[in-house]
Amino acid sequence: MTKKNWRRLAFVGCFTFVTIVLAAGCVLITTRTGCVRTPGYVYVPHGTNYQTLFDSLTTDRKIRYKYGFDWYAQHIGLDTNVRAGRYELREGMSYVEVARMFNLGLQTPLNITFNNARDPYLLAQKLAPQIEPDSAAIVEAFHNPELHAKLGVASAKELFGMILPNTYEVYWSITPEEFFCRMKREYEHFWSPGRVAQAEKLHMTRNQVTTLASIVYEETAKVEEMPIIAGVYINRLRIGMPLQADPTVKYAIGDYKIRRITHNMLRVDSPYNTYRNAGLPPTPICMPSIAAIDAVLNYRHHDYLYFCAKEDFSGYHNFAANYREHRANAKRYAKALDQRGIK
């Protein structure tokens, strides 16, 4: 081989070596340096394919090194294994970390909060903006007999009565069935041996306690009054007196905006009308707060049988042990309603 050929061969060899080193260096750098251009959350619905995920990451310029990401993603099988979820793109993540996050389903949980829902439909409306399933899917699960059997409940209303308002950490991709199973576990955890013993002391089931708590919750927004009002209703139950709770009439009619209950309203034919039916309604009339449930379990002992909203519209109530006192309280409140033109 001539000297000229040796030089040419050496040059080609050096060039190839340098090219390989530079390529390896580029791969090493891009796999270890920041791939994330725009930190934030990526939401991947169920059924999303890889191309849709890739397009959402690159078209919106969420990541750099899209070719490196695409090569590595297909290398680890992400192209056939996209997992639904809410994923956080953090500054400094490499494309290897990003691809692995999606491939392994390492989504970031979130906190959902709900309260003051009066029926399954309103609860579904509160939940839908916070998680992937829409309100229709949540309502459908509420009425699913197979789910009822799995959770040991007889109806959607009974299932609704087991759901405790609170803040819960869940995954965005949680299914309605998974959500209700989670609520069942939270319900069982809430009803500790201590709370069960308190309910038994009242000769009530858990559902009955929750049902009474739902009435108490609708009667007052003042937490400090809840044990007193609970005591009024327990006193009535013990002597066989009808509960005569106005919120149950509103529930039976289906209108919670009513400001003033009339005599005609009291005649509504419904098992939830506690003016016409003795004892507690079949199920809760709303989702009571935990404070309301504990107010029933720890009700205030007193001799009150009646209460009426105060005429100053403060949200507090006047309590009475006999009907004569109650009638005087009710007249003052009725006069205040008339003066304000509330019918």
- Output the domain CATH number for residue 39: 3.30.1490
Note whether residue 97 is domain-resident: yes
User: pLDDT tens digits, residue range 153-198?
Assistant: 999 999 999 999 999 999 999 999 999 999 999 999 999 999 999 9
- pLDDT of residue 21 exceeding 50, the answer is no
- Return the beta strands (E) in 90-154 as ranges: 110-114
Please indicate, yes or no, whether residues 282 and 227 belong to a single structural domain of this protein.
Answer: yes
Note whether residue 196 is domain-resident: no
Note whether residue 260 is domain-resident: yes
Note whether residue 179 is domain-resident: yes
Q: Which of 138, 159, 190 is the last residue of a domain?
A: 190
Q: How many residues in total does the chain contain?
A: 343
Note whether residue 23 is domain-resident: no
Q: Torsions phi, psi of 270, nearest 5?
A: -160, 145
Please indicate, yes or no, whether residues 94 and 119 belong to a single structural domain of this protein.
Answer: no
Q: Which domain holds residue 66?
A: 30-104
Please indicate, yes or no, whether residues 165 and 83 belong to a single structural domain of this protein.
Answer: no
Note whether residue 298 is domain-resident: yes
Query: What band does 14 get if pLDDT is binned at 50, 70 and 90?
Result: very low
Please indicate, yes or no, whether residues 272 and 293 belong to a single structural domain of this protein.
Answer: yes
Note whether residue 329 is domain-resident: no
Q: Which of 140, 157, 190 is the last residue of a domain?
A: 190
Report the pLDDT averaged over residues 206-220. Answer: 97
Please indicate, yes or no, whether residues 211 and 290 belong to a single structural domain of this protein.
Answer: yes
CB neighbour burial string for 234-243, b if at least 16 within 10 angstroms, e if fewer: bbbbeeeeeb
Please indicate, yes or no, whether residues 231 and 289 belong to a single structural domain of this protein.
Answer: yes
What angle (nearest 5°) sits at the alpha carbon of residue 259, between those of residues 257 and 260?
A: 135
User: pLDDT tens digits, residue range 294-327?
Assistant: 999 999 999 999 999 999 999 999 999 999 999 9
CA distance 54 to 69: 9
For the entire predicted model, the pTM comes to 0.84
pLDDT for the residue 167: 96
Please indicate, yes or no, whether residues 117 and 173 belong to a single structural domain of this protein.
Answer: yes
Q: Which of 70, 87, 104 is the last residue of a domain?
A: 104
Please indicate, yes or no, whether residues 292 and 215 belong to a single structural domain of this protein.
Answer: yes
- pLDDT of residue 12 exceeding 60, the answer is no
- Those residues whose C-beta lies under 8 Å from the C-beta of residue 285, and which sit 6 or more positions away, are 118, 211, 214, 215, 218, 247, 248, 251, 272
Please indicate, yes or no, whether residues 125 and 58 belong to a single structural domain of this protein.
Answer: no
Domain total for the chain?
Answer: 3
User: pLDDT tens digits, residue range 87-104?
Assistant: 999 999 999 999 999 999
- pLDDT of residue 263 exceeding 60, the answer is yes
CA distance 189 to 166: 13
- pLDDT of residue 32 exceeding 70, the answer is no
Please indicate, yes or no, whether residues 95 and 181 belong to a single structural domain of this protein.
Answer: no
Please indicate, yes or no, whether residues 88 and 146 belong to a single structural domain of this protein.
Answer: no
For residue 11, give both structure tokens: 């040059």
- pLDDT of residue 208 exceeding 70, the answer is yes
**Total Cβ atoms within 10 A of residue 270:** 15
Amino acid in the structure at residue 95 = Y
